[in-house]
Amino acid sequence: MRSFSVSEINKYIKTIVFSDIFLQNVKVEGEVCAFKEPSKSGNLYFEIKDFDSRIKCLFFDMYEQFSEVPFKEGDLVTLVGKIDVYEKNGTYQLIVNSISIDGEGSLYKKFLALKEKLSDEGVFELTKRPIPTYPKKIGIITSDRGAAINDVLNTIKRRYPFVKLLLYSVQVQGFNAVRDIIEAFDYFDGTDVDIVLLTRGGGSYEELSVFNDETLARRIVKSKHPTVSAIGHAEDFFISDFCADKRCDTPTASAEELTPDIREVRRHNKELNDKLNAQMERALKNESRLSNLIEKNIVQLSPKNKFFKLQDLMHATNKRLDIIIKGVINNEKNKLSLYADSFKGEISNEIDEGINLLEGYEYRSESSIKFRIEKDKLRLDLLQKRLSSSDLNKLFARGFSVTYNDKDILLKDVKKINVGDIIYTRVGDRTIVSKITEVID
- CATH number for 68: 2.40.50.140
Question: What is the strand order of the sheet 195-200 is part of?
Answer: 164-169, 137-142, 195-200, 227-231, 246-247
Domain match, 118 and 201 both: yes
What pLDDT score does 316 carry?
A: 77
What pLDDT score does 343 carry?
A: 47
pLDDT under 70: residue ranges of the chain: 67, 103-106, 204-206, 294-308, 310-311, 318, 325, 328, 332-373, 376, 380-398
Instruction: Indicate the helix (H) or strand (E) that contains 27.
Output: strand 26-33
- 207-265 pLDDT per residue, tens: 788 899 999 999 999 999 999 999 988 878 899 999 999 999 999 999 999 999 988 87
| 441 belongs to a structural domain | no
| Long-range contacts formed by 56-62: CB under 8 A, 24+ apart | 56/91, 56/92, 56/93, 56/94, 57/81, 57/93, 57/94, 57/95, 57/96, 58/84, 58/93, 58/94, 58/95, 58/96, 59/96, 59/99, 60/95, 60/96, 62/38
What pLDDT score does 437 carry?
A: 86
Domain match, 208 and 111 both: yes
Domain match, 238 and 275 both: no
Contacts of residue 221, defined as CB under 8 A and 6 or more positions apart, other chains included, come to 123, 124, 126, 127, 243
| 240 belongs to a structural domain | yes
- 171-211 pLDDT per residue, tens: 998 878 999 999 999 999 999 999 999 999 987 666 788 89
Q: Which of 42, 70, 102 is the last residue of a domain?
A: 102
CB atoms within 10 A of CB 84: 17
Helices assigned H by DSSP within 225-302: 239-243, 251-258, 262-301
Domain match, 221 and 198 both: yes
Q: What is the radius of gyration, based on Cα positions, of the chain?
A: 50
Domain match, 118 and 244 both: yes
Domain match, 237 and 341 both: no
- Which range of residues forms the domain containing residue 408? 397-436
Classify 299 as helix, strand or coil.
helix
Domain match, 281 and 412 both: no
Q: Which of 260, 288, 311 is the last residue of a domain?
A: 260
Domain match, 15 and 73 both: yes
Domain match, 121 and 34 both: no
Domain match, 374 and 290 both: no
State how many domains the chain has.
Answer: 5
| 1 belongs to a structural domain | no
What pTM was computed for the model? Answer: 0.47
* 215 alpha-carbon distance from chain centroid: 40
In this structure, which amino acid lies at residue 28? V
Q: Where are the beta strands (DSSP E) in 87-243?
A: 91-104, 137-142, 164-169, 195-200, 227-231
Domain match, 211 and 148 both: yes
| 11 belongs to a structural domain | yes
Q: Which of 69, 102, 135 is the last residue of a domain?
A: 102
Domain match, 346 and 243 both: no
CB atoms within 10 A of CB 371: 10
Bridge pairing between strands 137-142 and 164-169: parallel
Nearest one of 123, 94, 104 to 27, comparing CA atoms: 94
What pLDDT score does 150 carry?
A: 94
